[in-house]
Amino acid sequence: MEKVVMALDQGTTSSRCILFDRKGTIIGSAQKEFRQYYPEPGWVEHDPMEIWSSQMSVMMEAMTQVGVTARDIAALGITNQRETTIVWDRKTGVPVYNAIVWQCRRTSGMIDRLKAEGFTQMIRERTGLIPDAYFSASKIAWILDHVSGAREKAERGELYFGTVDSWLIWKLTGGKVHATDYTNASRTMLFNIHTLQWDPDLLRLFNIPACMMPEVKPSSYLFGMTAEEVTGIPIRVAGAAGDQQSALFGQCCFHRGEMKNTYGTGCFLLMNTGDQPVTSEHGLVTTLTAGADDHPGYALEGSVFVAGAVIQWLRDELKMIHSAAETEQICRSVPDTGGVFLVPAFTGLGAPVWNQDARGTVIGLTRGTTRAHFVRAAVESLAYQTMDVVHAMEQDCGFSLSGLKVDGGASANDFILQFQADILRCSVERPVCTETTALGAAYLAGLAVGFWNSLDELRANWRLERSFAPTMEMKQRDALVRGWRIAEKCAGFAAEEYHRES
Ligand code: ADP
């Protein structure tokens, strides 16, 4: 009998492979970093062949580590960095250009022009997204416009486009299957999230031939079998989802109102809104979720640009700390921040403030402010920024959050999670398995092949490691939130004043 499900977690800085058993427990994993290319300021690329080779090598490494062969693997699921764009020749399999990574800003001018021409509303209505260079559409257009001969070849039907899931599915199946899933499609800014089709008007707007686009399938679906030259014995490729949607699924947020927050370099919050798309009045985006059946659901998504990154900044630039983990003990060494608030608006402020020009701001410094106060203010900013996004979601949906499931590197910090519970006034729950992104992909693949049979079975696997309940007095909490709001205003106000004067 097959023993395990394999998840391929293709992230921005590394490729990973994790093997899970029926209980959703990790039984083996391997990880490999790969090279980042910065050909010009603000540009970010990956080599698609290196994405593939690193993914293959971690697959083999994880299998060797656990002592399983392809025969023991019930299915394979993929989760991936979203929006990153690859265009390749369908005959030779050779990419015509490097992968343009989601972070790459090279097409922001193209997006500014579309906004100026009045396309924002139409794009929002159809795709649920706020026009941005982040999404795949303008990146595909850039490749077709800048790589010699690419447009002609694309029009002749010789080129394929894919996000990373699609590229891996195509490589794994030996070039047999050109497909993606709903969640990845919903991040391209070319997919109509209501009709669940590539949108012909958007394809025309970006001048992208429809024949390049992958077929769009459910996230839990038998895409195909791995080719003999890849794994010897074929493995079923049976799941795919973008990283954030995969984590939502891995956290078992299957129903409306359920929400997860991933505390990594940034924070990513997703709230399941069920079978109804919710249009945000607060600058959040609407996106498709991974489901166990043929129909995807909807979620609201909000992100915090600088979360764990502020802790890296304390360590690498200010040299105030030696390690991220040390912040927990430093925060506990003082009863509070002594009135200091730190807004890490290094790249502007996101939802719900949306001020691109805002910059990092600290208020409330006194002669008595210590390193511990300063570090604590930086750490607390993760919780305040999360609160801002949660409040925006609550207002958009008209209901309040009952609990927040958390994962990501910084969710290891108990101080952050306790403070988060206090500020949000709801419970914050950390599962035993915080590798929820990979777990989600494994679940999607395992469900498609009957390794797991129901969502209840998956829920039973979700085990609480620790729950944080609010304990802070309401008065104190409200005073802190007031302080944060003032600090946020200062971050925006300073930017405006500075611009006015310069
Ligand atoms: P990503 O996937 O975005 O690279 P991870 O989920 O691996 O991020 O989390 C890494 C981030 O979490 C880093 O920014 C780091 O500063 C922060 N971090 C890791 N451990 C802790 C900790 N114990 N306390 C606070 N922050 C932490």
Specify the residue with its C-alpha closest to ligand 1, atom 8. Answer: 264
CA of 263 to the centre of ligand 1 (A): 7
What residues are paired with 301 via a beta bridge? 270, 285
Q: Taking a C-beta distance cutoff of 8 angstroms, is the pair 486, 436 a contact?
A: no
Query: Residue 494 pLDDT > 80, yes or no?
Result: no
- Please tell me the residue having the least CA distance from ligand 1 atom 15: 308
Q: Among 199-208, 250-259, 327-336, which is the least confidently predicted range?
A: 250-259
Instruction: Name which residue sits closest to atom 18 of ligand 1, judged by CA.
Output: 410
CA of 331 to the centre of ligand 1 (A): 16
Of 94-108, 161-175, 352-366, 465-479, the range with the lowest mean pLDDT is 352-366
**pLDDT average, residue stretch 36-64:** 94
pLDDT computed for residue 464 by the predictor: 94
Q: How far is the CA of 416 from the centre of ligand 1 (A)?
A: 12
d(CA 137, CA 129): 12
CA atoms of 16 and 29, how far apart (whole Å): 7
- Measure the CA–CA gap between 467 and 421, rounded to whole angstroms: 9
In this predicted structure, what is the pLDDT of residue 354? 76
Buried b (16+ CB within 10 A) or exposed e, 119-135: beeebbebbbbbbbbbb
- Which residue lies with its CA nearest to atom 13 of ligand 1? 308
Task: Name the phi and psi angles at 95, rounded to 5.
Answer: -65, 140
Nearest to 128 by CA among 299, 11, 265, 12: 299
> Which of 266, 261, 257, 264 has its CA nearest to residue 248?
261
Predicted confidence (pLDDT) per residue in 415-432, tens digit: 999 999 999 999 999 999
Q: Compute the average pLDDT of residues 174-181.
A: 97
Spatial contact of 271 and 297, defined as CB atoms under 8 Å apart? no
Tell me the best of 260, 263, 320, 323 to mutate to test the pocket of ligand 1, counting ligand atoms within 8 Å of each CB and taking the most.
Answer: 263
Atom of ligand 1 nearest to the CA of 407: 6
Helix or strand holding residue 132 (H, E): none
**pLDDT higher than 70, residue 398:** yes
Contact assessment for residue 81 and residue 164, using Cβ atoms and an 8 Å cutoff: yes
Give SS3 for 409.
helix
- Which of 352 and 93 is assigned the larger pLDDT? 93
| Residue of the CA atom closest to atom 20 of ligand 1 | 410
pLDDT recorded at residue 208: 97
| Rounded CA separation 458/444 (Å) | 10
Give the ligand 1 atom nearest the CA of 408: 6
Confidence of residue 356 (pLDDT cuts 50, 70, 90): confident
**Contacts with 497 (C-beta within 8 Å, 6 or more apart), sequence order:** none
First to last CA, the chain: 70
Q: What are the phi and psi torsion angles at 64 (to 5°)?
A: -65, -45
**Does ligand 1 lie within 6 Å of residue 375's CB atom?**
no
Instruction: Reply yes or no on whether the pLDDT at 1 is more than 70.
Output: no
Is 80 exceeded by the pLDDT of residue 399? no
Query: Do the Cβ atoms of 269 and 259 come closer than 8 Å?
Result: yes
How confident is the model over 308-317, as pLDDT tens digits? Answer: 999 999 999 9
Q: What is the pLDDT of residues 21-32, one digit of tens each?
A: 999 999 999 999
| Beta carbons within 8 Å of 284's beta carbon, 6+ residues apart | 300, 301, 302, 351, 389, 392, 393, 396
How many whole angstroms from 264 Cα to the centroid of ligand 1? Answer: 5
pLDDT at 499: 66
* Amino acid (1-letter code) at residue 496: E
Is any atom of ligand 1 closer than 6 Å to the C-beta of 264?
Answer: yes
pLDDT at 335: 97
Q: How far apart are CA 488 and CA 230, in angstroms?
A: 52
Nearest to 403 by CA among 271, 303, 284, 250: 271
Tokens standing for 36? 């980042």
Q: Does residue 325 have its Cβ closer than 6 Å to ligand 1? A: yes
Between 349 and 202, whose confidence is greater?
Answer: 202
Mean pLDDT estimate for the chain: 94
3-state class of 471 per DSSP? Answer: coil
Q: Which residues pair with 287 in a beta bridge?
A: 299
Confidence of residue 2 (pLDDT cuts 50, 70, 90): low
E-assigned strand segments in 166-276: 179-181, 191-192, 197-198, 215-217, 220-225, 236-242, 259-263, 267-272
Cβ proximity of 110 and 138 under 8 Å: yes
117: confidence class by pLDDT, cuts 50, 70, 90: very high
Question: Tens of pLDDT along 7-47?
Answer: 999 998 899 999 999 999 999 999 999 998 999 888 889 99
Which of 271, 296, 283 has its CA nearest to residue 183?
296
Q: Which protein residue has the closest C-alpha to ligand 1 atom 7?
A: 409
Distances (CA, A) of 260 to 270, 302, 332, 406, 482: 6, 11, 26, 6, 25
pLDDT surpassing 70 at residue 502:
no
Nearest-CA residue for ligand 1 atom 1 is 264
